[in-house]
Amino acid sequence: MMRGNIPDPRDMTKRILIADDDLLFRELLIARLEGTGFVHDIAVDGAEALAKASREAFDLLLLDLRMPRIDGLQVLEGIRANTRLLQPRVIVLTASRSDADIAEAERLGVDSYLSKPVDIERLFERISIVLDPESAEARKTWLVEDYTEEDFVLRA
């Protein structure tokens, strides 16, 4: 769990895959991850994300739903279908607010669903919660946050 900008030593080896086709958003996430101690990799489309997740173990997948070649839900289906893979925690970061996308993401075991534009500080709070094995919140709730409104909805 992060404490401010200082990562907990248990997070120092956590691996994060950023799967998003938006270059500026990837660069923002990478810049924010620098200095946290997390190890990160990037995928610029769904096919690359699925290939990397199939070859390497990641603790967390930051996943856009709308990407070229293979969309984020198909990436997640492929990962979940392969029982030989380490199953990463998943935070969806997407402009899609579709009820169908939210329902499918929940069915596929997403830990959190955040609508773009994403508040980076709140994203890092979610990362800390999702990656903390002792977090009761991470185990008990599935979170959808829509940053165009002031409130967020918790789904049990």
Indicate whether 2 belongs to any domain. no
For residue 83, the model assigns a pLDDT of 85
In a domain, 3, yes or no: no
Query: CA triplet 110, 113, 116: central angle to 5 degrees?
Result: 145
**Residue 28 domain flag:** yes
Question: What is the pTM assigned to this prediction?
Answer: 0.80
pLDDT of residue 3: 46
Q: Find out whether 52 and 15 touch, Cβ atoms under 8 Å.
A: no
Q: Specify the amino acid at residue 136.
A: A
Q: Are residues 15 and 39 in contact, defined by beta-carbon separation less than 8 angstroms?
A: yes
- Asked if residue 120 belongs to a domain, the reply is yes
Domain presence at residue 36: yes
For residue 62, is it within any domain?
yes
Write the CATH number for 13.
3.40.50.2300
Tally of structural domains, the chain: 1
pLDDT of residue 59: 94
Domain that holds residue 98: 9-155
Between CA 61 and CA 112, with CA 109 as vertex, the angle to 5 degrees is 60
142 found inside a domain = yes
pLDDT at 96: 82
Residue showing tokens 């603790």:
59
Task: Please list the ranges in the chain whose pLDDT falls under 50.
Answer: 1-7, 9, 11, 140, 147-156
27 found inside a domain: yes
